[in-house]
């Protein structure tokens, strides 16, 4: 079974600074998808960024980028120029690619605080 | 696009009663819908996966007779918590996967807070 580990229960960053959230995963599959989701106090899950394992290039979305290390099974999220609105719980998630296996496996989450 | 709604957003019920939660994909047809449960300050725990017209697949440890899932159409799935008890109080979230997406992204509903008295 796949597992996703987020080793940082809480992180804090100063507004306008950069922060990196860690995520490691365990899988025997060679093809899969990785996601970072944001859950603000409203509890609405919002997709931040996705990475396909077959792509070597790290995904970026504006101020959000990932460092995907497939051999190390590591998938960290970097938030640049942090804003107050970035404060939320962040979940790393794994999804296999085979057939109808669309299930997401989530990490335990990292609570990000942004200090003004 | 890709909006998922849930109804109700918050429900309070008495112990022993049943509660139905609806999950709708508003602007797309959903191949698959998922139901999650989330306790305060914890991660999402997958309860079951449902495909339209077929029985739901429950995760290990989830009581099928207590959490009834019906996926009657490509835009609607319902979760019924039968004979609810205080320990069933939680935040329930659904998600849906549209037809045809090559990466099968899940779009999440806003969640339903269930409080059982």
What is the tens place of the pLDDT at every residue in A16-50? 999 999 999 999 988 899 999 999 999 999 999 99
One-character DSSP codes across B17-54: --EEEEEEESSS-EEEEEEEEE-TTS-EEEEEEEETTS
| Torsion angle of C-alpha atoms A23, A25, A31, A37, degrees rounded to 10 | -40
Q: Kindly give the confidence (pLDDT) of every residue in chain B, 117 residues in length, as a single tens digit, with 9 standing for 90 and above.
A: 689 999 999 999 999 999 999 999 999 888 789 999 999 889 999 999 998 888 899 999 999 999 999 988 889 999 999 999 999 999 999 999 887 766 668 899 999 999 999
Indicate the burial class of A77 (C-beta count within 10 angstroms; 0-12, 13-18, 19 or more).
buried
By C-alpha distance, the chain A residue nearest B104 is: A102
**B95 at the A interface (CB within 8 A)?**
yes
- Interchain proximity A50–B103, CB inside 8 Å: yes
B44, B103, B111 ranked by CB distance to A33: nearest? B103
Residue A16 distance to chain B (closest CA, Å): 26
A47, A91, A106 ranked by CB distance to B105: nearest? A47
Count of CB atoms situated within 10 Å of the CB of B71: 22
| pLDDT at res. B102 | 61
By C-alpha distance, the chain A residue nearest B36 is: A104
What number of C-beta contacts closer than 8 Å exist between A and B?
Answer: 48
For chain A, the average pLDDT equals 94
Does an H or E element contain B15, and which?
A: none
- Measured CA to CA, the distance from residue A116 to residue B7 in angstroms comes to 36
| pLDDT at res. A110 | 98
Backbone angles phi and psi of B111, in degrees to 5: 95, 160
Question: Between β-strands A32-39 and A88-96, what pairing exists: parallel, antiparallel or unpaired?
Answer: antiparallel
| pLDDT at res. B106 | 87
Q: Which of A53, A55, A48 is nearest to A89 (CA)?
A: A48
Residue A78 distance to chain B (closest CA, Å): 21
| pLDDT at res. A98 | 66
- Cβ-contact A21, A110 below 8 angstroms: yes
- Interchain proximity A45–B104, CB inside 8 Å: no
By C-alpha distance, the chain B residue nearest A53 is: B103
pLDDT tens per residue, range A100-110: 557 899 999 99
Residue with the bigger pLDDT between A31 and A97: it is A31
User: How is residue A61 written in tokens?
Assistant: 């979305």
- Interchain proximity B104–A47, CB inside 8 Å: no
By C-alpha distance, the chain A residue nearest B109 is: A44
| pLDDT at res. A101 | 55
Is the confidence at residue A13, as pLDDT, over 60?
Answer: yes
């Amino acid at each position: 079974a796949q597992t996703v580990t987020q080793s940082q229960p809480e992180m804090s960053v100063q507004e306008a600074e950069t922060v990196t959230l860690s995520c490691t995963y365990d899988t025997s599959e060679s093809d899969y998808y990785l996601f970072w989701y944001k859950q603000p106090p409203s509890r609405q899950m919002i997709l931040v960024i996705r990475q396909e394992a077959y792509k070597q290039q790290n995904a970026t979305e504006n101020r959000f980028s990932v460092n995907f290390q497939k051999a190390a099974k590591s998938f960290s999220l970097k938030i640049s120029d942090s804003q107050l609105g970035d404060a939320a719980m962040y979940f790393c998630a794994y999804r296999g690619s085979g057939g109808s296996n669309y299930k997401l496996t989530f990490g335990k989450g990292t609570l990000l605080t942004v200090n003004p | 696009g890709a909006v998922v709604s849930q109804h109700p957003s918050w429900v309070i019920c008495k112990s022993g009663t049943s509660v139905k939660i609806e999950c709708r994909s508003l602007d797309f047809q959903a191949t698959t819908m998922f139901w999650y449960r989330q306790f305060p300050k914890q991660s999402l725990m997958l309860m079951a996966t449902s495909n339209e017209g077929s029985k739901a697949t429950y995760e290990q440890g989830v009581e099928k007779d207590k959490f009834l899932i019906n996926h009657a159409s490509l835009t609607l799935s319902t979760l019924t918590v039968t004979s609810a008890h205080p320990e069933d109080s939680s935040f329930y979230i659904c998600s849906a996967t549209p037809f045809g997406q090559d990466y099968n992204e899940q779009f999440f509903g806003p969640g339903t807070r269930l409080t059982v008295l």
